[in-house]
Amino acid sequence: MIAYFENLPRRLSATAGDDDFNAADETNNGDLKSFGSDFGGMITSVPAAVIQPSTADEVASAIRFARANGLALAARGNGHSIHGQAGAAGGLVLDMRVLAGPIGLTGGPRGPCAEVPAGALWSEVLEWAVTEHGLAPRSWTDYLGLTVGGTLSNGGVSGQTFCHGPQVVNVSQLEVVTGDGERRLCSPETGEADLFFAVLGGLGQFGVITRAWIPLLPAPDARAAEMLKPLGYVKGLEFCAKVSYVDFLSRVNHSEAEARVNGTWDAPHPWLNIFVSACDIVDFDREVFRMILRRGVGGPMLVYPMLRRKWDQRMSVSVPDGEIFYLVALLRFARPPPDGPSAEEMMAENQAVVDRCRSAGYNYKLYLPHYRDQSQWAVHFGEKGWSRFLDRKARYDPAAILSPGQLIFSPEAPPHRR
Ligand code: FAD
């Protein structure tokens, strides 16, 4: 396990040499600063140390070390959060990308599974599963440069979610290290079922996912023509491109390459993702798309329908009521003035959208939610959901050291069971 220390108090560096946490390779490293920001590029939270664990036991040691020393700790996947959720200002960051390989093929009563270290990217899972085995998970994200542990801590959605459900319902077992430094295997069938459901969509609050078992099916062939046959649509608007399954799943790579060349990949990204219930989507269109956002968003906008029955209400993730809801994703890229509104102006517009949803009484939930205080989180989860969230936090991370960047709890503001 390698640890990069810079600001860590001497007291902690000295303790770090004990049996529980061997930080032998500590060094000053400019990388600390890069672990203090994320894809959003709007929040800076420089950690005291970055730890690169290569096993789940090393994750457990780091968590025990953090807890013993009153430090907060965040698992960081690929740092694709927007609002600092994977940061730990003055605390410890676990660089989960180091925990990335190898992926294993395991059998099970319900067919083959990929046994994946949580720091692996979905693009690495794709490469391994489809190219090497002709198999594929059922549910993907649209963009694959995200870690398995990171998307399972949120939801993991794509254009196929209405059909296969989000990634959180397409996993059969997890290895998790809880806030007390205990490594546990959990699944719906074990005594640890509650931990399994807690960490799925759990925003990193209940444990660090170190390994996931993902059911696999034979990789599908391209069957677009067959799928289009029964659909009614305006023929003139048909757009067809013949690509392989791998190319289809990697379709966002072109946009990423372009954005890297024109510099917008490294610019701030004031993104907003909302789930809006079907019963309010017409009003949302009139009030939000046609009024607040009438000048556009400075980037792609996605609108996908989803089905509530494809989600699992035992999980921590919160979705609107009603059978059909829509993901509305505003994927904004701030360009330097005078080319468009600043990141601050875009953030203010996002806030106006959320305020409108609230004041109009729409049935909505933020996806990849970000709030500043517990009362807003309580509203987000709803009365029953929040009470369950508090209970789970008290059970699995009572010292409230995990994922401080979500701004739900902190070691100074631990959960109180209701
Ligand atoms: P991070 O941002 O590093 O972490 C996210 C949160 O999870 C943090 O709180 C962190 O502490 C916690 N965490 C990370 N790893 C673990 C772990 N192993 N155990 C416990 N907690 C952990 N989302 C979609 O659903 N579908 C998409 O198609 C999609 N496309 C995106 C495209 C881009 C370019 C970007 C920037 C984001 C996209 N997202 C998408 C959002 C993405 O799901 C989130 O950013 C998510 O946070 C995963 O990213 P990550 O792996 O970098 O996790």
Strands (DSSP E) found in 96-206: 104-106, 113-117, 135-136, 173-178, 183-186
Q: Considering only residues 190 and 82, tell me which one the structure prediction assigns the higher pLDDT.
A: 82
Q: Is 237 helix (H, G, I), strand (E, B) or coil?
A: helix
CA terminus-to-terminus distance, the chain:
39
- Using a 6 Å cutoff on CB, does residue 402 contact ligand 1? no
pLDDT at 3 over 80: no
Instruction: Work out the pLDDT band at 171, boundaries 50, 70, 90.
Output: very high
What does the pLDDT look like over 250-305, one tens digit per residue?
Answer: 989 988 999 999 888 999 999 999 999 999 999 999 999 999 999 999 899 999 99
Sequence length of the chain is 418
Instruction: Work out the pLDDT band at 120, boundaries 50, 70, 90.
Output: very high
For residue 204, which phi and psi values (nearest 5 degrees)?
Answer: 70, 15
Burial 46-73 (b: 16+ CB within 10 A, else e): bbbbbbbbeebebbbbbbbbbbebebbb
In this prediction, residues 389-397 reach a mean pLDDT of 98
What does the pLDDT look like over 349-377, one tens digit per residue?
Answer: 999 999 999 999 999 999 999 999 999 99
Cα of 19 from ligand 1 centre, angstroms: 32
pLDDT attached to residue 231: 76
In this prediction, residues 150-176 reach a mean pLDDT of 97
- Using a 6 Å cutoff on CB, does residue 86 contact ligand 1? yes
* Mutation probe of ligand 1 site: the residue of 80, 92, 93, 410 with most atoms within 8 A of C-beta: 80
pLDDT at 329 over 80: yes
What does the pLDDT look like over 11-70, one tens digit per residue?
Answer: 444 444 444 444 444 444 556 788 999 999 999 999 999 999 999 999 999 999 999 999
For residue 172, which phi and psi values (nearest 5 degrees)?
Answer: -105, -20
Instruction: Count Cβ atoms within 10 A of the Cβ of residue 254 and give its class: 0-12 exposed, 13-18 middle, 19 or more buried.
Output: exposed
pLDDT attached to residue 191: 84
Query: How many helices and strands in the chain, by DSSP H and E?
Result: 14, 15
| DSSP class per residue in 263-281 | TGGGS----EEEEEEGGGH
Indicate the pTM of the whole model. 0.93
Cα of 147 from ligand 1 centre, angstroms: 7
Percent of the chain with pLDDT over 90: 75
Instruction: Work out the pLDDT band at 225, boundaries 50, 70, 90.
Output: low
* Mutation probe of ligand 1 site: the residue of 153, 274, 403 with most atoms within 8 A of C-beta: 153
Check if the beta carbon of residue 316 is closer than 8 Å to that of residue 198.
yes
For residue 334, which phi and psi values (nearest 5 degrees)?
Answer: -80, 130
* Cβ neighbours, 10 Å, residue 260: 11
- Using a 6 Å cutoff on CB, does residue 153 contact ligand 1? yes
pLDDT at 347 over 60: yes
Q: Considering only residues 228 and 20, tell me which one the structure prediction assigns the higher pLDDT.
A: 228
In this prediction, residues 118-133 reach a mean pLDDT of 96
Q: To which H or E segment does residue 345 belong? A: helix 343-359
